[in-house]
């Protein structure tokens, strides 16, 4: 009996974690589909398949749930980016190439991802917690890029402001990603990747036209 009592909380925690994650994922889907105004507690709980009263059991309220959903999404992105940007088994340029592919291909270029980001951006204007989370996410993302650029600069003896270079590249990626989501016919993902390669060529002091070598219409 004592042994059974010790293991019982473990099963309760597992169920709680699953319900909590279900609510977070339901929030992301509702924000993407309905936008922030129409995303209500009732809609979220219906999407998650739980009763509205259960939300308060796991979160302080809707605002807390939305903030946790944002944290979940941005942590997922940065953890994935970190897994290959800090992989010392790969040369720095290859790691940046993986970043370009990751941001500008199907996993992140979609109507659903665009919808949820637009919702979060809208909410940040009036939600200080979301605004702070966004700043932390951006800083961590740029820091990851900066570490790889710093490696490249050391290898090639390039003297430059790494912080500004990381801001430049991350802003380029953000802009290309947004345009690909808004107008998929405007340019291809491969062309967007070629633009990023040209940026890298410029950073490394190479002919910027080298970055366009594999672009496809």
Instruction: Write the pLDDT tens digit of every residue in 5-14.
Output: 444 444 344 4
Question: Highest-confidence range of 33-37, 117-121, 163-167, 181-185, by mean pLDDT?
Answer: 163-167
- What pLDDT is attached to residue 209? 58
Quick one: angle between helices 111-124 and 162-182, nearest 10?
Answer: 120
pLDDT tens sequence across 135-177: 999 999 999 999 999 999 999 999 999 999 999 999 999 999 9
- What pLDDT is attached to residue 173? 97
CB atoms within 10 A of CB 137: 17
Reading the block at residue 214, the tokens are 């594999």
Query: Can you tell me which residue has the tokens 């309220």?
Result: 61
- What pLDDT is attached to residue 9? 46
The string of DSSP letters for 176-210 reads HHHHHHH-TTTS-HHHHHHHHHHHHHHHHTS-GGG
- What pLDDT is attached to residue 215? 54
- What pLDDT is attached to residue 1? 39
- What pLDDT is attached to residue 66? 93
pLDDT tens sequence across 50-61: 888 888 888 888
CATH class in words for 2-212:
mainly alpha
Calpha distance 27→116 (Å, rounded):
9
- DSSP category for residue 211: G
- What pLDDT is attached to residue 210? 52
Q: What is the mean pLDDT of residues 112-136?
A: 91
| Residue-averaged pLDDT of the chain | 87
Distances in whole angstroms, Cα of residue 37 to Cα of each of 4, 26, 40, 119, 158: 46, 15, 8, 9, 48
Among residues 20, 96, 101, 95, which one has the least CA distance to residue 58? 20
In our burial notation (b when 16+ CB lie closer than 10 A, e otherwise), range 151-170 reads: bbbeeeeeeeebeebbebbb
Phi, psi at 207, each rounded to 5°? -60, 120
What angle (nearest 5°) sits at the alpha carbon of residue 119, between those of residues 118 and 125?
A: 95
Question: Highest-confidence range of 92-96, 102-106, 120-124, 181-185, by mean pLDDT?
Answer: 92-96
Phi, psi at 25, each rounded to 5°? -65, -35
Lowest mean per-residue pLDDT among 81-85, 97-101, 207-211: 207-211
Helix (H) or strand (E) holding 214: none
């Amino acid at each position: 009996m004592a042994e059974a009592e010790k293991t019982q909380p473990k099963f309760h925690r597992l169920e709680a974690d699953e319900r909590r994650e279900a609510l977070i994922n339901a929030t992301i889907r509702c924000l993407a589909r309905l936008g922030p105004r129409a995303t209500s507690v009732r809609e979220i709980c219906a999407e998650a398949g739980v009763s509205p009263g259960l939300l308060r059991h796991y979160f302080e309220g809707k605002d807390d749930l939305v903030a946790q959903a944002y944290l979940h999404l941005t942590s997922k992105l940065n953890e994935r980016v970190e897994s290959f940007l800090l992989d010392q088994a790969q040369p720095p340029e290859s790691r940046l190439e993986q970043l370009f592919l990751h941001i500008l291909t199907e996993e992140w270029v979609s109507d659903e991802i665009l919808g949820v980001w637009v919702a979060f951006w809208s909410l940040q204007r009036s939600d200080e917690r979301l605004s702070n989370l966004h700043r932390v996410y951006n800083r961590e993302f740029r820091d990851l890029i900066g570490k790889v650029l710093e490696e490249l600069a050391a290898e090639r003896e390039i003297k430059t402001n790494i912080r500004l270079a990381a801001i430049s590249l991350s802003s380029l990626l953000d802009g290309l990603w947004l345009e690909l989501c808004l107008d998929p016919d405007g340019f291809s993902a491969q062309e967007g990747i070629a633009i990023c390669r040209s940026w890298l060529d410029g950073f490394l002091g190479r002919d910027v036209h080298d970055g366009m070598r594999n672009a496809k219409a």
